[in-house]
A and B are shown apart, each in its own frame.
Chain A
Amino acid sequence: MSADMKLTLKVWRQKNNKDTGSFETYQVNANEHMSFLEMLDVLNEDLVRQKKEPVAFEHDCREGICGTCSMVINGQPHGPMNATTTCQLHMRHFKNGDIIVVEPFRAKAFPVIKDLVVDRSAFDRIIQAGGYISVNTGQAPDGNAIPIEKNIAGKSFEAAACIGCGACVAACPNGSAMLFTSAKVAHLGLLPQGKVESDRRTKAMVAQMDKEGFGMCSNIGACEAECPKEIKLENIAFLNRSYFKAVFGGVEE
Chain B
Amino acid sequence: MYEKITGEDPYKMPMKIYPAVHYTMGGVWVDYNLETNVPGLFATGECNFSDHGANRLGASALMQGLADGYFVLPYTIGTFLSKEITTPKFNPDSEEFIEAAKNVENQIQRLMNIKGSQSAESFHRRLGKIMWDYCGMARNAEGLKKGRQMIRELREEFYKDLYVPGSDKEYNPELEKAIRVADFLELGELMMVDALERNESCGGHFREEYATPEGEAMRDDANYACVFAWEWDENNPKLYREDLKFENVELKTRSYK
Q: Interface of A with B (CB < 8 Å)?
A: 15-16, 32-33, 41, 44-45, 47-49, 51-54, 56-58, 63-65, 81, 84, 88, 90, 92, 113-114, 117, 132-137, 160, 163, 188
* Among candidates B5, B58, B121, residue contacting A44 with C-beta atoms closer than 8 Å: B121
Asked, given contacts A45-B119, A45-B122, A163-B62, whether A133 binds B71 with beta carbons under 8 Å apart, the answer is: yes
Asked, given contacts A48-B165, A132-B71, A135-B71, whether A117 binds B122 with beta carbons under 8 Å apart, the answer is: no
Kindly provide the distance from the CB of A82 to the nearest chain B CB, expressed in whole angstroms.
11
Interface residues on B, range: 20 to 34
Please name all residues of chain B whose beta carbon is closer than 8 Å to the beta carbon of A58 when the two chains form the complex. 173
Q: How far is the CA of A56 from the CA of B166 in the complex (A)?
A: 11
**A41 with B121: CB separation less than 8 A:** yes
**B165 with A113: CB separation less than 8 A:** no
B171 at the interface (CB under 8 A from A): yes
**B71 with A117: CB separation less than 8 A:** no
Kindly provide the distance from the CB of B230 to the nearest chain A CB, expressed in whole angstroms.
26
Q: How far is the CA of A64 from the CA of B57 in the complex (A)?
A: 10
Q: How far is the CA of A114 from the CA of B66 in the complex (A)?
A: 29
Which secondary structure dominates where chain B touches chain A? Answer: helix
Kindly provide the distance from the CB of B175 to the nearest chain A CB, expressed in whole angstroms.
11
Docked complex: B163-180 residues within 8 A CB-CB of A: 163, 165-166, 170-171, 173-174
Interface flags for B56-80 (1: CB within 8 Å of A; 0: not) read 0111011000110111111100000
Supplied contacts A16-B171, A56-B171, A64-B58, 4 more A-B pairs, CB within 8 Å: A53-B166, A54-B174, A117-B171, A136-B75
Which secondary structure dominates where chain A touches chain B? Answer: loop
**A132 with B121: CB separation less than 8 A:** no
Q: How far is the CA of A226 from the CA of B75 in the complex (A)?
A: 37
Kindly provide the distance from the CB of B27 to the nearest chain A CB, expressed in whole angstroms.
16
B4 at the interface (CB under 8 A from A): yes
**A114 with B67: CB separation less than 8 A:** no
**B71 with A137: CB separation less than 8 A:** yes
B39 at the interface (CB under 8 A from A): no
21 contacts between A and B (CB under 8 A): A15-B170, A48-B119, A48-B121, A48-B163, A54-B174, A58-B173, A65-B61, A65-B62, A88-B4, A88-B5, A90-B4, A90-B5, A92-B7, A132-B70, A132-B71, A132-B73, A132-B74, A133-B70, A133-B71, A134-B74, A160-B66
* Among candidates B58, B72, B174, residue contacting A137 with C-beta atoms closer than 8 Å: B72
Kindly provide the distance from the CB of B171 to the nearest chain A CB, expressed in whole angstroms.
5
**B57 with A63: CB separation less than 8 A:** yes
Which residue in chain A gives the minimum CB-CB distance to B174? Answer: A54
Q: How far is the CA of A53 from the CA of B165 in the complex (A)?
A: 6
Which residue in chain A gives the minimum CB-CB distance to B55? Answer: A61
Q: How far is the CA of A15 from the CA of B119 in the complex (A)?
A: 20
Which residue in chain A gives the minimum CB-CB distance to B60? Answer: A65
Kindly provide the distance from the CB of B149 to the nearest chain A CB, expressed in whole angstroms.
27
* Among candidates A57, A114, A133, residue contacting B170 with C-beta atoms closer than 8 Å: A114
